[in-house]
A and B are shown apart, each in its own frame.
Chain A
Amino acid sequence: MDTSHRWRIPAGQRLLFEDFDDGIVAFDTAVGATHLLNVSAAETLAIIEAAPDLATDDIHRRLLARLEIGEDALPYDSLQELLAHLEDLGLVAVRTA
């Protein structure tokens, strides 16, 4: 994945969240799809929604801070994989610089 990618929530999309102790369920109102997310995915979406067009490394830094974990717990490569997965689901979109 190109490090110049910048991420945003697709236009017109609205997600509803139900936060249970054992997982977070998100409903994509645009397409009517429901997804089971872990806390990393849900926080990543929240970061991108609050600050569109962040680069991957910015998202990574903010995510580690929000989760209060170190890079060993969530390496940069893992975030790249997560973003690619969220992109496949249509929950985030990429804008190349």
Chain B
Amino acid sequence: MNVGELSPALVSSRMAADGLAVAIPPVTVRLRSPLRQVATQFHSLYADYVVADASDYADIDVRLVPAGGARRWLRPQVQFVVDGVMPFDAFPQDHALPLFEWGLNWVFSHRMHDHLVLHAAAVARGGRALLLPAWPGSGKSTLAASLASRGWRFFSDEFGLVKLDGGDVIPFVRPVALKNQSIAVMRAFDPHAFIGTSFPKTRKGTVAHLRAPAESVRRAREPARVGAVVFPDFEAGAEASMRRIDKATAFLKLAGNAFNYEVVGERGFKAVAAIIRGCESYILRYGDLDAAHAAIEGVMGDRA
């Protein structure tokens, strides 16, 4: 059963009681919260995700709970609690969902050491993945979302999860966190996309979440071999250019982009080598999405 098959009221009551466990492959996450708006927003963004049995083991146990302290009288606060630990300061309660998404990212980047975790977006077509490694501000989330809206299978806008035996990429399909101008850009690019509540004045500006395509959620356990590595570099007004880079340079850029390269050690080195040997790498400079798509088709068209 998917989350969307439950009523918002049932999602809310489950979250308020023992929690709602949901499969977000490759993990199962249990979320507990008495905050009704969290349940409502989660219900709409995660409608296509499979509900796990209440008795199932959850890899990640998250609670979003109202925080105490004097500030709660001025502006109610919410605390992110994972496995009994509170790694962050409290957020305003009306930012609870962005806090959940960021918190889950944080947990994921600190725990998934059975994979090489790249700071990368990823999409796939025809069994070949396009890896888009980049640090924040490069436009990788918007680019990945736009490709997904044009039929590419969406893997992630934040994590390139690389298998340590062979270098294949596995999906970690979650809502896309659009920030500031990217929200309007995606609304214009795909008027049919479901974009949830806008959260103004977060620590990253205004944030809104784009629901991941249902087909990508359904196929979230299917890995793909990397067909190309493209380092995106967005600059407003820039003409699109795709420049191939040599393999040794690409290796260092990709390894330097990983959250846990030093942690996974030799296996991470070999996984990066497998990716770099198996495909070409490029730097994509772009100023608008259509031009970026055309450039990507140029390098992935015969591989995807």
Interface residues of A (CB under 8 A from B): 16, 18, 20-25, 27, 29, 32, 34, 36
Contacts and interface: CB of A to CB of B under 8 A. Distances in A.
B249 A22 contact: yes
Contacts of B165: none
B269 interface: yes
Nearest to A34: B255
B265 A18 contact: no
B251 A32 contact: no
Given A34-B252, A34-B255, A36-B252, A22 B246 contact: yes
B273 interface: yes
A16 B1 CA distance: 48
B248 A23 contact: yes
* Chief secondary structure at chain B's binding surface: helix
A18 B248 CA distance: 9
Interface in B258-279: 261-262, 265-266, 269-270, 273, 276-277
B125 interface: no
Contacts of A32: 261-262, 265
* Chief secondary structure at chain A's binding surface: strand
Interface of B: 246-249, 251-252, 255, 261-262, 265-266, 269-270, 273, 276-277
A22 B266 contact: no
B273 A18 contact: yes
Given A32-B262, A34-B255, A20 B269 contact: no
A24 B266 CA distance: 16
B207 to A, nearest CB: 34
Given A18-B273, A34-B255, A25 B248 contact: yes
Contacts of B252: 25, 34, 36
Nearest to B252: A36
Closest 8 CB pairs of A and B: A23-B248, A22-B246, A20-B247, A27-B269, A32-B262, A18-B273, A20-B248, A25-B251
Given A32-B262, A36-B252, A23 B269 contact: no
Name which of B266, B269, B273, B277 has the most chain A CB atoms within 10 A of its CB. B269
